[in-house]
């Protein structure tokens, strides 16, 4: 590409948008780039916009807010497609993996070995959570589950693992072998069943409880003096933001919360404009307020508004979807991007 | 070419504003073939596919159907009509080409992933955003980071061979170019990329059984094939002989790495008596954290414990675990490993 073409292209580009984008944005070759006038050095240097304005700007009250959250406690529910895909991959692995080395794990002619053989005869595969499927042989192609099958569901898989731990595989048999197996069953160590993924608070919809919506991040939402739901916040005094955040946590939720302030920088802000400017004691007229939110995590304990110093009336632990309907539209618009999706 | 076109192009560009407004409205009334077809396209997902009749679902038995179809008929010999991947790659011009790795018929195919590990979910939902909030550095709008000058040294001298020669590394023996510390954004939050489990068994030079046991143990706890390594040099003090196999490593990625770390942090490390934590001096300055486990501690892995008798007790090795992150400093790597639950003790290495 020579200089003449470049000039033409530039003229044409100035004339209108009639050149296609790929032609217009072609990177220039080194030769033409060198020929172009060098950018002045001061343009590349540091440019920090001036902070002080000569004209009086509208002033805002500065508030500190706390986004106190409880992180997810358990894994999320899988989408049915994900669950089906994972089951498919597990069955594929049964077909492709080397056979299970039985005698490395079970000595021949021991009770454990007999139990293994009984269970293998029932489920046909070493894996305990993929259902009845045989990865080798003539019919290994039959790896798809039928309509309405439960094999891909997490709860079904957990139940099979528990069943494997508490049964001997000889329950339906009769005779000496079954009697011996059932005698050995009593000597097994007892284990605890895992608690459910839904809690009592979920069923009763107790939004004050922290043991609810275990798969989601919960945020502390409080009802302020005016009866509006928002995150705990207070006016900034002679202190820095994270000092104010610590104060607000104690002043609103009481001392019975083990919290951790994540970082010392705000993760979002909310700007509110008053209907009429307010004149403060120092003579400034405030147009509105700006609230800067700091992130905190609750590790243990629970909020208690009994003698809070901010005049709060009520509190809730809500996740993002519930927050949307609980707060004002303008508030939601400004805070939604600092909340975790899950 | 462009020069010849210029008058026409300029003219059209200049005349565009004078064109009648009909051309601007035109797209609204234009009808494409796809306009009619759009309502025809189904928006359903695989979940709400039309339900099959009840008895058809109940009676469907793929195995019985297949047997009925094959009854009395001889199937064609399968081997002749199935594609088998060549064992060796014979170059791009050979007619018999290997399959892509993603094809289940390929010899190199690895099934997976088999699930969504808890550690990955915690990282995405909690750890990543906390690290971002903790390490975020604010710059005022319009700030441009100072330009990083050339960190490598020029070749100075009269020799004409210095022209065009690659630049020299930093001065000093064993010095390497340190990583650049980029300002933290949502794109460069440190994450765990790999875990390497390494076990050195110098006794393997006398008895190779040590090597086999070490390999078996590492494979059992990591779920990946191990790789064995030879000694690179003779070291008289350690009795090392060059070229002898002395160590095994397992390199874990993705799901394997997450499962291994979960197991290590939640099952094994809490059961170690008086474990102080990862030494604070750990870290190579490039985002990698290492620590070691003794043979007694390695035996606490559930996979070893379930058939501890199968391994000769004297031959159980210790191991080193290296957590490889894409952090660019010890501090960030430590922040990440602490967030997943590894405590550090002693003087920290910054």
Q: Which residues of B touch A11 (CB under 8 A)?
A: 6, 10
Q: Read off the CATH number of the domain in which A257 is found.
A: 3.90.79.10
Q: Is residue A16 part of a domain?
A: no
DSSP label at residue B271: G
Which of A156, A185, A214 is at the close of a domain?
A185
Strand partners, A219: A69, A318
Residues A121 and A99: their CA atoms lie apart, in Å, by: 15
Q: What's the number of domains chain A is made of?
A: 2
Which of B14, B46, B57 is the closest to A15 by Cβ? B14
The domain boundary, picked from A185, A217, A240, lies at A185
Whether residue B113 has a cis bond before it, omega within 30° of 0: yes
Degrees to nearest 5, angle at CA B82 with B78 and B87: 120
Distance of alpha carbon A272 from alpha carbon A279, whole angstroms: 16
In a domain, A30, yes or no: no
User: CATH homologous superfamily of domain B192-200+249-345?
Assistant: Ribosomal protein L5 (3.30.1440.10)
Residues A247 and A271 in one domain: yes
- Residue A158, domain extent: 80-185
Instruction: Kindly provide the b/e burial profile for residues B306-334, where b requires at least 16 CB atoms within 10 angstroms of the residue's own CB.
Output: eeeeebeeebbbebebbbbbbbbbbbbbb
**pLDDT tens digits along A310-326:** 999 999 999 999 999 99
Q: Where are the domains of chain B?
A: 192-200+249-345
Residue A250 sits in the same domain as residue A166 = no
Interface list for A 153-192 with B (CB within 8 A): none
Per residue of chain B (350 residues), what is the pLDDT tens digit?
444 444 444 444 444 444 444 444 444 456 666 666 666 666 656 666 677 788 888 888 898 988 888 887 776 666 666 778 899 999 999 999 999 999 888 999 999 899 999 999 999 999 999 999 999 988 888 888 888 888 999 999 999 999 889 999 899 888 889 999 888 999 999 999 999 999 999 999 989 999 999 999 999 999 999 999 999 999 988 888 999 999 999 999 999 999 999 999 999 999 999 999 999 999 999 999 999 999 999 999 999 999 999 999 999 999 999 999 999 999 999 999 999 999 999 999 88
Does A94 lie in the same domain as A70?
Answer: no
Q: What percent of chain A has pLDDT over 90?
A: 59
Q: To the nearest whole angstrom, how far is the Cα of B236 from the nearest Cα of chain A?
A: 38
More confident position, A96 or B33: A96
Q: Is residue A29 part of a domain?
A: no
Same domain? A323 vs A213:
yes
Does A288 lie in the same domain as A174? no
Interface ipTM: 0.81
Q: Are A70 and A103 part of one and the same domain?
A: no
Would you tell me the crossing angle of helices B330-339 and B128-135 to the nearest 10 degrees?
Answer: 140
Indicate if A85 and A68 belong to the same structural domain.
Answer: no
Distances (CA, A) of B132 to A70, A241, B127: 17, 18, 9
Assess whether A213 and A267 both reside in one domain.
Answer: yes
CB contact under 8 A, B133 and A263: yes
A96/B13 CB distance under 8 A: no
Cβ atoms within 10 A of the Cβ of B29, count? 7
Assess whether pLDDT exceeds 60 at residue A9: no
A175 & A229 share domain:
no
The verdict on A137 touching B (C-beta cutoff 8 Å) is no
Question: Helix H segments across B245-309?
Answer: 254-263, 295-298, 302-305
CB contact under 8 A, A16 and B14: yes
Cβ-based neighbours of B33, under 8 Å, separated by 6 or more: none
Residues A249 and A257: beta-carbon distance below 8 Å: yes
The mean predicted confidence, pLDDT, of chain A is 84
B136:A263 CB<8 A? yes
pLDDT at residue A5 greater than cutoff 60: no
* A170 lies in the same domain as A292: no
Task: Please report the pLDDT score of residue A24 as a whole number.
Answer: 55
Touching check for A144 and chain B: CB below 8 Å? yes
């Amino acid at each position: 590409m020579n200089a003449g073409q470049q000039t033409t292209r530039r003229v044409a580009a100035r004339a209108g948008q009639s050149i296609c984008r790929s032609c217009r944005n072609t990177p220039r070759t080194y030769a033409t780039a060198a020929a172009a006038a060098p950018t002045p050095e001061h343009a590349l240097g540091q440019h920090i916009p001036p902070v002080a304005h000569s004209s009086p700007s509208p002033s805002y009250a500065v508030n500190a807010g706390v986004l106190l959250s409880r992180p997810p406690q358990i894994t999320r529910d899988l989408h049915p497609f994900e669950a089906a895909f994972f089951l498919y991959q597990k069955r594929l692995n049964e077909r492709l993996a080397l056979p299970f080395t039985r005698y490395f794990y079970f000595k021949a002619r021991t009770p454990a070995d007999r139990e293994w053989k009984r269970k293998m005869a029932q489920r046909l595969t070493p894996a305990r959570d993929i259902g009845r499927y045989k990865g080798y042989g003539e019919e290994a192609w039959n790896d798809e589950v039928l309509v309405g099958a439960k094999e891909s569901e997490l709860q079904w898989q957990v139940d099979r693992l528990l069943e494997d731990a508490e049964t001997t595989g000889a329950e339906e048999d009769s005779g000496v072998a079954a009697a011996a197996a059932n005698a050995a069953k009593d000597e097994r160590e007892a284990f605890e069943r895992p608690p459910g993924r839904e809690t009592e608070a979920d069923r009763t919809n107790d939004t004050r409880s922290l043991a609810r919506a275990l798969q989601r991040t919960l945020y502390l939402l409080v009802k302020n003096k005016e009866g509006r739901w928002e995150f705990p916040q207070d006016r900034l005094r002679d202190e820095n933001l994270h000092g104010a955040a610590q104060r607000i946590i104690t002043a609103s939720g009481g001392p019975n919360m083990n919290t951790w302030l994540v970082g010392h920088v705000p993760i979002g802000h909310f700007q509110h404009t008053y209907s009429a400017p307010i004149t403060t004691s120092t003579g400034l007229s405030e147009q509105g307020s700006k609230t800067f939110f700091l992130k905190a995590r609750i590790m243990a304990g629970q909020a208690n508004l009994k003698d809070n110093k901010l005049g709060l009336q009520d509190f809730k632990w809500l996740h993002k979807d519930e927050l949307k309907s609980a707060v004002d539209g303008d508030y939601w618009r400004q805070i939604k991007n600092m909340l975790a999706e899950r | 070419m462009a020069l010849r076109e210029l008058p026409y192009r300029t003219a059209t560009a200049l005349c565009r504003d004078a064109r009648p407004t009909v051309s601007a409205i035109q797209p609204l009334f234009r009808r494409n073939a796809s306009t009619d077809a759009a309502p025809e396209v189904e928006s359903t997902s695989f979940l709400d596919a039309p339900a099959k009749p009840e008895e058809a679902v109940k009676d469907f038995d793929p195995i019985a159907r297949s047997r009925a179809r094959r009854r009395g008929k001889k199937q064609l010999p399968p081997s002749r009509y199935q594609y088998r991947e060549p064992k060796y790659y014979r170059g791009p011009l050979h007619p018999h080409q290997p399959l892509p790795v993603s094809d289940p018929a390929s010899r190199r195919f690895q099934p997976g992933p088999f699930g969504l590990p808890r550690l990955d979910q915690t990282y995405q939902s909690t750890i990543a955003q906390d690290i971002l909030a903790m390490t975020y550095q604010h710059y005022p709008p319009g700030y441009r980071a100072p330009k990083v000058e050339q960190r490598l040294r020029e070749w100075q001298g009269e020799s004409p061979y210095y022209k065009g020669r690659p630049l020299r590394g930093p001065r000093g023996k064993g010095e390497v170019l340190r990583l650049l510390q980029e300002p933290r954004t949502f794109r460069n939050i440190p994450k765990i990329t790999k875990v390497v489990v390494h076990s050195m068994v110098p006794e393997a030079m006398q008895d190779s059984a040590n090597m086999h046991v070490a390999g078996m143990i590492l494979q059992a706890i990591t779920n990946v094939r191990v790789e064995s390594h030879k000694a690179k040099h003779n070291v008289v003090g350690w009795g090392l002989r060059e070229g002898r196999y002395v160590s095994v490593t397992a390199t874990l990625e993705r799901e394997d790495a997450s499962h291994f770390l979960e197991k290590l942090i939640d099952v094994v490390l809490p059961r170690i008596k008086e474990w102080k934590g990862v030494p604070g001096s750990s870290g190579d300055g490039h985002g990698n954290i290492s620590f070691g486990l003794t043979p007694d501690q390695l035996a606490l892995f559930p996979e070893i414990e379930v058939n501890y008798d199968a391994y000769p007790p004297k031959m159980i090795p210790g191991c080193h675990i290296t957590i490889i992150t894409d952090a660019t400093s010890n501090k960030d790597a430590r922040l990440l490993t602490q967030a997943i639950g590894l405590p550090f003790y002693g003087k920290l290495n910054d």
